[in-house]
Structure 1
Amino acid sequence: MNLFNIIKNKQEYWLVDQIKKNDIPKEAYLHQFTQILEEWDRLGIGYLSLLMDERFESWLLQRKFCKISSIVEYTRKLADLPEMDGQIVWHSLSEGLLDDREYGELYDLCRLESANKNKKLPMDQVMNSLKNELGPEWRQHCYYFTKDEALAGISIPHIEMGTEDEGRLFYFGVVPNLRGQGLGINIHKISLVLLKKFLANYYVGSTDVNNSYMIKIFEKNGCELRDRKGIYRIVK
């Protein structure tokens, strides 16, 4: 049984996320993760970033992981979605109105002054990871939003790897100069509708425990707290 999702970026990094199940003993997680860690070490990958239940923290720290922060996960069924703001317009990158470079620049702008504490990867690595995870049709998942013809934010809805109907946002963000105006709540609402178009039945979103802005968006849009995990990192 697979207890972890892993995104592998060649020799640069692995992103590992624990799949929490109520009926799985702690020892089973430790056994499978030890195998992952041994393979990571044997292959000489640059670093490993891990999302895992904080009850494993002392075990991880003993193995030279450092704790970056903690995240909270929120979830929502995608039935009976709230009405969307008709003033916001959205397009996918696949429409060709922006090119990949322009989209990357907008993505990078949305990351500025983020409350999330996890280390920000260089933009070229982010775009490569996006392509690797979402596959050849990745541009169809990359949305950007405008209001009054001004670029306002981005969202990247997709079905979580290893699932059939779990909706996730690879990234979601609002440009710094338009924050605090309620745009984040409305763009997030639209993103939930887009997830439903990708045949997701429910949504799972996460953010840093200190990101009160994003937590407010989750709560305003009917999401409920599901879980909390630590963010840990080990470098080769």
Structure 2
Amino acid sequence: MNLFNIIKNKQEYWLVDQIKKEDVSTESYIRELTDILVNWSSLEIGYLSLLMDEQYESWLLERDFGKISSIVEYTRGLEGVQNTDNQMVSHSLAEGLIDEQEYAELYELCRSGSANKNTKQPIAQVMSSLENELGPEWRKHCYYFLQDGAFAGISIPHIEIGTVDEGRLFYFGVVPELRGQGIGVQIHRVSLELLKQFHATYYVGSTDVHNTNMIKIFEKNGCELRDRKGIYKVVS
């Protein structure tokens, strides 16, 4: 039974996300997670990051997991997303108007001052993860946005691994000087439209429980609270 999505990055890390199903017992989740942990440990991967229902927290802490924070998940169907009158200009990295180094620098700028508690990976590692997780055409998913000719933010829409139509944003962010001006809502809305172009039928987004600005963006763009999970990490 597939009860967890797993993203594997060579010897560096595994990202494991619980798939919640109503008809699955607690014992089944623990059994499958135990198998994952045995496999991960035997391969001597750097660390494992886990998103899981907080009801398992005591079990996880007893097995040397540390709790990083908690996240909330929001979702909405994309059938009602319409083209909006927007002053934003968007381009993908695949268009070749900027290079990967410039995109990495913009990414680094957008994630500065984040309210999310999860430890940041070095930006070089993040860029490597894009190709690993999104595949050889990863540049087509890497968008950046301009307002009046200046960089405003980035967004990386894609289909979640293991699904055919679940839209996700690998990352979404606004440059610091434009925060608090409604720019994030606009970029997020355009990103939902882009997800439709990648054939997503619904969207799932998550953020730290303390990131009130991102939660407001979800709500303003019609997303509804779906779930809450803990973020846990164990190091080999």
Residue of structure 2 in register with 1:189 after alignment: 189
State the distance in 2 between where 1:206 and 1:172 align: 11
State the distance in 2 between where 1:6 and 1:210 align: 25
Residue of structure 1 in register with 2:5 after alignment: 5
In the alignment, is the contact (CA less than 8 A) between 1:85 and 1:186 conserved in 2? Answer: no
Superposed CA RMSD? 0.8
Deviates more, 1:75-84 or 1:64-73: 75-84
> Moved runs in structure 1, 4+ residues, more than 3 A?
none
1:86 shift after superposition: 2.2
Amino acid at match of 1:49: S
TM-score with structure 2 setting the length: 0.98
State the distance in 2 between where 1:172 and 1:80 align: 21
Deviates more, 1:38-47 or 1:222-231: 38-47
Residue of structure 2 in register with 1:164 after alignment: 164
Residue of structure 1 in register with 2:37 after alignment: 37
SS of alignment partner, residue 146 of structure 2: strand
TM-score with structure 1 setting the length: 0.98
Q: Are 1:146 and 2:146 an aligned pair? A: yes
In the alignment, is the contact (CA less than 8 A) between 1:82 and 1:221 conserved in 2? Answer: no
Residue of structure 1 in register with 2:230 after alignment: 230
Q: Are 1:113 and 2:147 an aligned pair? A: no
In the alignment, is the contact (CA less than 8 A) between 2:109 and 2:175 conserved in 1? Answer: yes
- String of CA shifts for 1:63-111, please: whole Å, max 9, x gaps: 0101000000000000122552421000000000010111011011111
Sequence identity, in percent?
A: 72
State the distance in 1 between where 2:189 and 2:63 align: 41
State the distance in 1 between where 2:85 and 2:230 align: 34
Residue of structure 2 in register with 1:173 after alignment: 173
The total of aligned residue pairs comes to: 236
In the alignment, is the contact (CA less than 8 A) between 2:83 and 2:193 conserved in 1? Answer: no
SS of alignment partner, residue 184 of structure 2: helix
SS of alignment partner, residue 113 of structure 2: coil
Structure 1: state its 5+ residue gaps.
none
Residue of structure 1 in register with 2:53 after alignment: 53
1:113 shift after superposition: 0.3
- String of CA shifts for 1:14-68, please: whole Å, max 9, x gaps: 1111111111111111001001101111111111110000010000000010100
- String of CA shifts for 1:112-137, please: whole Å, max 9, x gaps: 00000001001111111111111011
Residue of structure 1 in register with 2:201 after alignment: 201
